Amino acid sequence: MMINVAINGFGTIGKRVADAVDAQEDMIVVGVTKTGPSFGCKLAINKNFPLFCTSDDEENIALFSEHGYECQGGISTLLGLADIVVDCSPGKMGNLNAQKYRNAGIKYIFQGGEKHELTGLSYTSCANHDSAFNANAARVVSCNTTGLSRTLVPLYDACGQLDVECTMIRRAADPGDSTSGPINAIKPVLKVPSHHGIDLMTVKPGIKINSLAVAVPTTIMHVHSIIADLPEGHNFTTESIIELWKNQPRVIVMNGSENRITSTAEVMEMARDIGRKWGDLHEIFVWEDGVSLKGNRLYYFQAIHQESDVIPENIDCIRAMMGTVKDWKKSVEMTDSSISKYYGL
């Protein structure tokens, strides 16, 4: 079955999702949207993605051709061609857009900038692929929640109980964003606990977790500093936890000192070295020498490439919702073999 996918919003996440869909053998990009003429229109056209307008307003649609971009129509026309739409609009547009998708009678996926309540179903491949099977609407959780899921879900599945406290050290802005900050400050999120930990419970309700967050002046990654209490009588060692993560898809565990990868700068340099588009790193990076189990208490750090860890999750979510691949690991393998080729890892 070939799945027809529309992408509404062609920004940081949207352009990556479009390329990832395009790389799969079981799905096709039927169109992407832009709000108005811009370089992104040229990019979409050069990649052979049919271009549509985010609105149905005729004057707005006409603007594209006035600037030399062939626009195939408004959002309603695009939705009419699709089986499923991946909404990659800026956060908080959910209610408005969801109504359009429901009117068009197609399935829809939102991103982590929207609230869980919008779809009532939040998703990451390793936590709850099954619950999204044949679903009509879902939200792929944020980059941070995806990161927490990748390491905490396998641990929880293996030991049945986890109490987690974590601090999210967040990048101030994406590299292509000139409007966000801080640029010379460390800014604590004063809503305590922060929403990040709570959000993990939307995909794995059994994990008990609280989080704090601070924004720091960097653009390339988030870092999580995590303390997790395992149940009494567990059989884990530091080494067996490292082994568990090494066997988990989309987690890279690497010794920082031995590899001279001791900060997010070197992690992202490695990501550029391995040669994926945009220098992306879809995996969560765990510093092996920063993992330590003392009694029941586990300490570790992980780094998240915020612009790309959710991209393969969107692809798996499409397959789950379209009811085509039930086994999450099989979907992960299909997705990653087409977009996560690398050299040197």
Chain residues binding ligand NAD by CB under 6 A are 8-14, 33, 35, 54, 88-91, 93, 97, 111-114, 142-143, 174, 306-307, 310
196 or 234: CB nearest ligand NAD: 196
Instruction: Supply the minimum distance, in Å, between the C-beta of residue 329 and ligand NAD.
Output: 23
The Cα–Cα gap between 304 and 199 comes to: 16
Q: Tell me which residue has its CB nearest to ligand NAD.
A: 11
Q: What is the DSSP string of 17-45?
A: HHHHHHT-SSEEEEEEEESSSSHHHHHHH
Residue type, 229: D
Decide if 304 contacts 143 (C-beta within 8 A): yes
Residue 271 CB, shortest distance to ligand NAD, in Å, is 14
Is residue 166 annotated as a catalytic residue, yes or no? no
Strand order from edge to edge, sheet including 122-123: 51-53, 27-34, 3-8, 84-87, 107-110, 137-140, 122-123
Catalytic residue chosen out of the listed positions 71, 88, 126, 143: 143
Tokens matching residue 289: 């020498």
How many residues in the chain? 345
- List Cα–Cα distances, 35 to 8, 65, 74, 106, 242, in angstroms: 10, 13, 10, 21, 45
Distances (CA, A) of 97 to 58, 76, 77, 261, 289: 18, 11, 14, 42, 45
Helix axes 328-339, 311-321, angle to 10 degrees: 130
Whichever of 112 and 256 has its CB closer to ligand NAD, that residue is 112
Judged by beta carbon, residue 60 or residue 263, the one nearer ligand NAD is 60
Q: Under DSSP, is residue 322 helix (H, G, I), strand (E, B) or coil?
A: coil
Give me the least distance between CB of 112 and ligand NAD, in Å please.
4
Cβ at position 12, least distance to ligand NAD in Å: 3
Shortest spacing between CB 74 and ligand NAD, in angstroms: 11
Residues belonging to the active site: 143
